[in-house]
Structure 1
Amino acid sequence: MPTRYEAILRADREATPAAGTDGRTPLRLAAAQPLCVPLDVAANARAHADAVRAASARVVVFPELSLTGYELDAPVVPTDDPRLAPLVRACAETGALALAGAPVAGDHIGVLAVTGDGVTVAYRKMCLGEAEARRFRPGDTPGVLTVDGWRLGLAVCKDTGVAAHAQRTAALGVDVYAAGVLESACDTAVVDQRAHRIAVTHRVWVAMASFAGSTGGGYTEAAGRSGVWTPQGEVCARAGTAPGELVRVSID
C-alpha cells in the first residue's frame, strides 16, 4: 500500500531532464488528489502544500474546487487570502506552480495559479452544470499559462466534456490540457473517455486531477484515479482511488 502522497511513478524518469530538440527542458508535471475537508480552506491549503512538496514537480494540478470541496455555497477565496500562505511557501521552496480549485471573485468556479510569488486567478470555468449555474457565472475566455516554454490550457470538469472548449483552448497553441475534475466512482470511465478524446483529437498531453474521497453535491464516493495521458491517448501514469495520492511524469 502506498503511503500518503507517495507518487505512482510508472512513467516518471527521475534523472535530471535534458533539453529536447526544440530547446525546451522536459516538464515535470503532477496531478494530485489531496484529502479535502469541507469548507476548511486553511486545512486544505496545508494538504495542497504537502502534495506540492511530495510531487517535486514544476506544475501540480489539483481537482475542481479542491480548496473548499464541492460545496456550492462556499465563500469566494480571495487571491490575498492568508490561509493560502502554506501553499505559497511550498511553491517557493520547490519552484512549483500549483493549479488549485476554488470559488473566485465574480462568482466563478476558478483555477488559482499559485507560485512562490503569490496567487492569481488563471481561469474561470466556462461550462457550468445546472446546479452550479444557480450560484456561479460562466467564464468567457479560455485560459492558457506558459511555463518554461510549455503552454498549458486550463479546464474544469464539465469543460472537458464540451468539444468546443477543447477546440478553443487547443487553438491557442497548447502543449498540455490540464483539468481539475470531479466524478462519482461509478463514472470513472468518463474521465478516461474525455482525456483520450482530447489527447488524440488535439495531439496534446492531458493531465486530469480527479477528486478523491467524499464531498458535497451528493458525491459520497468520488472517482479519484487522477492521471496523465500522452498525445496518442495512452495512459502513462495513474493514481488509485484514495485521497492523498498523486502521479508525476516528465514530458518532452
Structure 2
Amino acid sequence: MSLAIATCQPTSSSDPRANGAEVRRMLREAAAAGARLAHFPEGFLSGYAVEDVSSWDTVDWALVRRELEDVAALAGELGIWVLLGSAHPLTAPHRPHNSLYVISDEGRLVDRYDKRKCSHTELTRFYSPGFDAVVLDVDGFRFGLAICIEINFSDLFAEYDRLGVDCLLLSAYPVDSIFATKARAYAAIHTYWVSLSVPAQTTHLFHSGLIGPHGEWLGDVGSDPGLVVTALDRRDPALRGALDLARPWRASARAGHIYDERRVVDERSRVRTEF
C-alpha cells in the first residue's frame, strides 16, 4: 500500500564522470532513507544537449557507458531502482535518443524510454525521436515515463492513465515556471502521483518534488541540490477523494456506459434550435 521514492535534484554538468559520481552519491543517500526507487533529471548522466553539450562530438561515449555500468552495479548492491536521464548513442550517422534508463534493483538495465516529442532544436540538431510508451511495475505500483517538453502533449498523459499507472516519472530541464503548474494539473486530472525531477540549475523556476493525485505537492527538495524521499501511500486520508472516489468514477465516465444507459428519447432533447 506504500512505496518510498527519491526525487533527485542534482547539479548537472558536461562531465559524465562528475555526473556519475553525483548519481552514486544520491543513490546511497536515497537507499539509506528507505527509498525503493530514485528518479533523476533529463539528460543528466551524459549532459543535456544545448545546456551542457554543444556537440555530440565532444562526448566520450565510452566514459558514459562506464559510468552507467557503475551506477547499475551500485543499484544492485543497494537494492534500489534507478530512473536515469542520459543521451543514448545510436549507430552513426544517427543522432542519439534522449532517454531515461530503467535500472532494476538487481542492477540490470531492463528498459529504456526514448523521448517521443522532441523540440525543434532537439529534432533538427541533437536527437532521434522514440515512439513507445514505457511502464514498469515496482512493489505493486505501476510507473510511466515522460521527458520535459512532453508536458505539452496531453494525449501522452492520458495514455499513461489508460495504461493504469499509479505514478508518472517526469524528468526535465525546464525553461519556464508554468511547467510545474501543468504537471500539477495532469496529476489532479488523472489522479496519479507525478515525480518531477529537474537539475539544480533550474530551481529559480520551481523545485523538484512529488505531486500527489490531488494535484498538491507532497515533497519538495528545496532550492539547493539534493533529494526528497516521499511515500506513495494509498492509505493517505488526504488522497481518498482522488484515489478511491474520483479515479474509479472518472474511468466509468470515460467508458460512457453511465451516460448511455440514461440516454433519453425526447423531442425537447433532439431539437436544439428552440428555447
1:207-246 map, 5 Å: 207-213=195-201, 223=205, 225-243=207-225, 245-246=226-227
Deviation for aligned residue 1:250: 1.2
Distance 2:38 2:174 in 1: 19
Cα deviations by residue, 1:205-231 (Å, 9 ceiling, x for unpaired): 1101012127xxxxxx86461010110
Q: CA RMSD in A?
A: 2.2
Distance 1:126 1:222 in 2: 27
Contact 1:33 1:211 in 2 (8 A): yes
SS in 1 for 2:8: strand
- The structure 2 residue matched to 1:113, chosen from 70, 83, 102, is 102
Task: Extract unaligned runs of 5+ from structure 1.
Answer: 1-19, 21-25, 215-220
Distance 1:48 1:136 in 2: 23
User: Does 2:173 match 1:205?
Assistant: no
- The structure 2 residue matched to 1:138, chosen from 129, 135, 141, is 129
Question: Sequence identity, in percent?
Answer: 27
Contact 2:40 2:83 in 1 (8 A): yes
Contact 1:77 1:103 in 2 (8 A): no
Deviation for aligned residue 1:36: 2.0
Task: Extract unaligned runs of 5+ from structure 2.
Answer: 91-95, 234-275
- Normalising to structure 1: TM-score of the pair? 0.79
Cα deviations by residue, 1:13-67 (Å, 9 ceiling, x for unpaired): xxxxxxx3xxxxx1111110112221x2222111101111111211111111011
Contact 2:3 2:36 in 1 (8 A): yes
Distance 2:179 2:229 in 1: 18
Contact 2:169 2:195 in 1 (8 A): yes
Amino acid paired to 1:250: A
Amino acid paired to 1:237: G
User: Does 2:56 match 1:66?
Assistant: no
Q: Which has the higher contact order (CA 8 A, sep 6+)?
A: 1
Distance 1:137 1:71 in 2: 12
Higher helix share: 2
Amino acid paired to 1:177: L
Distance 1:48 1:211 in 2: 12
Distance 2:224 2:191 in 1: 30
- Normalising to structure 2: TM-score of the pair? 0.72
- Give the structure with higher Rg (CA): 2
Deviation for aligned residue 1:171: 1.2
Deviation for aligned residue 1:193: 0.9
